[in-house]
Structure 1
Amino acid sequence: MIYIIQKAAAILIGSLLISIGINGFLVPHHLLDGGVTGIALILHYYYGFPTGLGMFILNIPLCIYAWIYERTFLYNSFLGLIVASIFIDWLAPLRTQFLLSIFTSGVLGGAFIGIGVGIMLRYKATTGGTDLLAQFITEAFSVNIGFVILIINGLIVTAAFNTLGLKAFLFSCLTICIIGMITSLMARTSNS
């Protein structure tokens, strides 16, 4: 029972931090996160589509696949996906609250998101998306999950390069690196 309460708290706190990172720091400078969140941000930047709703809709095919083939992955991701999606859209007013430089925003956004993801991963929870897709690919092809996530994130940011421009592309890469380093550090310390 205590573990369930801790997991729920991790999902709430992690989702809150991810939402602050996205809305407070990435969106004001049109920076991207990787994975499904990155695609949802692209939809937001170009079509005004709500980021959290986009993230949820884009995860539906992965959730269906997980329901059919790997329900454990679905159980560990679905609640995190719902909470993070709601928080991201609910905290959209933060987009005008922290008017910092693009460098500072990239670093802080990456830190907030990395800590949020790391907290959730400590309790085997995720927001779905790239983590869920990478788990499927790793299971199918026996490749390193970190490598798979890096490739997917790199493809998404590269696909947006022409429309975002060089500056946003470079700082999005910085943000993704910070997210990866902090998430890896937190995952490593939780295993020791």
Structure 2
Amino acid sequence: MIEETKKVIVITFAAVLLAIALNIFLIPANVFASGFTGVAQLLAVVLPLSTGILLFLLNVPVAILGWLKIGKAFTFYSFLNVALTTLFLEIIPVISVSNDILLNAVFGGVISAFGVGLTLKWGASSGGMDIIILILSRLSDRPLGPLFFILNGLIVVTAGLMFDWEKALYTLVSLYVASRIIDMIHTRHVKVTALIVTKKPDELRKAIHERVTRGLTRIPAKGGYMEDDKEMLMIVITRYELYALQHVIETVDPAAFTNIVETTQIFGLFRKDD
């Protein structure tokens, strides 16, 4: 219960950050966020609905799909983040603190990225594209980064067509800043490889298989200083499963050494049905 309470507090704080980034920096400057949030901003320009309400409506079908295909806990906390973001977007007034569009783009990108990064780090997401990417990652071994690029590219082009190309360029600045901050807090890569050196390989393997639906490889290892026998468990996961894996390792073998490596592409068996 303590862990779940902490998670809800972090997700709530992250929703506040995202709402502040939108209502105080991005929306007044007509600079757009990434993913479904940016889509909601664009739709709010032409539809008689607020960005928060549109963000919520866009995420409802995605949340239903995630509930059926991914898992209840991850989807629940992701949709909770979306619902709280919608609430705070309606509560916090849209005001401009600066007339400098570059400052708005940079600070909006930084603050929103802190919100997204914290959510990812605590085993949830900001909904939308994150849930779609996670579903697709369980169906295909192909790199999924281009999907982020395509959607964000469409947002940038649409912003240029609806307003002017200067706004589109500043949107690119905001997206770049946000991606760098997410890299720092969590990881932008969809897939990562965990190399876990442990003295409790059997217990850890069993616990990982109960919480993370991925195969792993066991490699004999020997300590370089003590020369004691160990094993290295190698597992490729999505970034959304990193929180669950970290929690399992800390629970079963806190003394285990874990190295997380960025994975750009994989070949062979990875999907859930394999």
Using the size of structure 2 for normalisation, the TM-score is 0.64
Q: Report the alpha carbon displacement of residue 144 of structure 1 after superposing the two structures with TM.
A: 3.8
Instruction: Name segments (4+ residues, structure 1) moved above 4 Å.
Output: none
Corresponding letter in the other structure for 1:81: V
CA distance in 1, matches of 2:45, 2:171: 14
Q: Report the alpha carbon displacement of residue 146 of structure 1 after superposing the two structures with TM.
A: 4.1
Corresponding letter in the other structure for 1:139: R
Corresponding letter in the other structure for 2:115: G
Question: Is the 2:28–2:96 Cα contact (8 Å) retained in structure 1?
Answer: no
CA distance in 1, matches of 2:71, 2:42: 29
- Write out aligned runs for 1:101-112 (5 A): 101-112=100-111
Question: Is the 1:15–1:87 Cα contact (8 Å) retained in structure 2?
Answer: yes
Question: Is the 1:134–1:145 Cα contact (8 Å) retained in structure 2?
Answer: yes
Alignment partner, residue 123 of structure 2 = 124
Q: CA RMSD in A?
A: 1.9
CA distance in 2, matches of 1:143, 1:182: 25
CA distance in 2, matches of 1:78, 1:185: 24
CA distance in 2, matches of 1:140, 1:156: 26
Alignment partner, residue 82 of structure 1 = 83
More helix by share: 1
- Write out aligned runs for 1:1-192 (5 A): 1-72=1-72, 73-91=74-92, 93=93, 95-188=94-187
Q: Report the alpha carbon displacement of residue 177 of structure 1 after superposing the two structures with TM.
A: 1.1
Corresponding letter in the other structure for 2:89: I
In structure 2, runs of 5+ residues without a counterpart are: 188-242, 247-259, 261-274
Using the size of structure 1 for normalisation, the TM-score is 0.90
Q: Compare 167-176 and 136-145 and name the one that shifted more.
A: 136-145
Q: Deviations over 1:67-118 (max 9, x none)?
A: 2222244223111111111111211x1x224123000000000000001111
CA distance in 2, matches of 1:139, 1:176: 26
Per the alignment, in what secondary structure is the counterpart of residue 96 of structure 1?
coil
Kindly indicate whether structure 1 or structure 2 has the higher relative contact order, using CA contacts under 8 Å at least 6 residues apart.
Answer: 1
Q: Sequence identity of aligned pairs in percent?
A: 27
Question: Is the 1:43–1:54 Cα contact (8 Å) retained in structure 2?
Answer: yes
Question: Is the 2:25–2:96 Cα contact (8 Å) retained in structure 1?
Answer: no
Per the alignment, in what secondary structure is the counterpart of residue 160 of structure 1?
helix
CA distance in 2, matches of 1:2, 1:123: 14
CA distance in 2, matches of 1:36, 1:12: 19
The structure having more radius of gyration, on CA atoms, is 2
Q: Report the alpha carbon displacement of residue 143 of structure 1 after superposing the two structures with TM.
A: 3.4
Per the alignment, in what secondary structure is the counterpart of residue 31 of structure 1?
coil
Corresponding letter in the other structure for 1:42: L
Per the alignment, do residues 29 and 97 of structure 1 end up closer, same or farther by CA in structure 2, a change over 3 Å counting? Answer: closer
Per the alignment, in what secondary structure is the counterpart of residue 100 of structure 1?
coil
CA distance in 1, matches of 2:123, 2:172: 26
Question: Is the 1:137–1:143 Cα contact (8 Å) retained in structure 2?
Answer: no
CA distance in 2, matches of 1:90, 1:172: 25
Q: Report the alpha carbon displacement of residue 124 of structure 1 after superposing the two structures with TM.
A: 1.1
Q: Report the alpha carbon displacement of residue 31 of structure 1 after superposing the two structures with TM.
A: 0.9
CA distance in 2, matches of 1:144, 1:111: 26
